[in-house]
Chains A and B, each alone.
Chain A
Amino acid sequence: MENRLRVLRAERGWSQQDLAERLEVSRQSVNAIETGKYDPSLPLAFRVAELFAIPIEEIFVSPSRRSSKAI
């Protein structure tokens, strides 16, 4: 799933490891989410949103919204 995690992380000057520690997941998880190879569960997505204090939809791009834009 497309997302803005890398941008948000970079804005705060955090490394993938820093973010992983804040989310209590592995660095590989952060990398897989950032690159769109793994879609986080809803609880993890909420943790990400709470950490950055912004709504989920401002971090993760809805696949249906993305495809409708493409049309």
Chain B
Amino acid sequence: MFAAKQGDFTPAQRAHTRRVLWLFLAYAIILPPLVWLRAHRHVSDLLLMIMATAAALPVLGIFASWGRYLSDERDEYHQAMTLRRMAVATNATMGAAVVWGFLQAFGVMPLMEAYWIPFVWVLVQGAFGCIGALARRGEEG
């Protein structure tokens, strides 16, 4: 049951936030030694593949957490808002990736690593969420 004392976040939102914070922490711990190893030591292709996959795992976990959140969320309004945010972020990011890809192909823009695309997706979601929250706060006074 929803409890007023739990503030403005639903139980599913709090669980998702906790999972994402842990995954960011894991990412921050895993990435630096991998980057250092890649830059300073000669490592085999197999190990490079394992290292690259290890670096990606926390980010994959964040996406899995979003899926879990959508399935756990019992508040249909929050669920609908999250889906809307995801749709906006997906359209904006895919659009930007296509435009950047052509600019890159025509030699106008430099090469951008593909792993930036999910980060842009998360940033757009965050920005859209902040705009929505500010608008709601304004309306509610």
Contacts and interface: CB of A to CB of B under 8 A. Distances in A.
A24 B76 CA distance: 11
Interface string B1-35: 11110001010000000000000000000000000
Q: Chain A interface mostly helix, strand, loop or mixed? A: helix
B140 A26 contact: no
A44 interface: yes
Contact of B8 (A28, A33, A38, A44): A28
A25 B140 contact: no
Nearest to A23: B2
Interface string B64-76: 0000000000111
Contacts of B4: 17, 20-21, 27
B45 interface: no
B139 A38 contact: no
A31 interface: yes
B78 interface: yes
Given A26-B10, A28-B8, A31-B140, A38 B3 contact: no
B77 interface: yes
A26 B75 contact: yes
B2 A24 contact: yes
B42 interface: no
B80 interface: yes
B136 interface: yes
Given A26-B10, A35-B139, A21 B2 contact: yes
Nearest to B136: A28
Contact of B78 (A17, A24, A29, A35): A29
Interface of A: 17, 20-21, 24-29, 31-33, 35, 38, 40-41, 44
Interface of B: 1-4, 8, 10, 74-78, 80, 136, 139-140
13 contacts: A21-B4, A24-B2, A24-B74, A25-B75, A26-B8, A26-B78, A27-B4, A29-B75, A29-B76, A31-B136, A32-B77, A38-B80, A40-B77
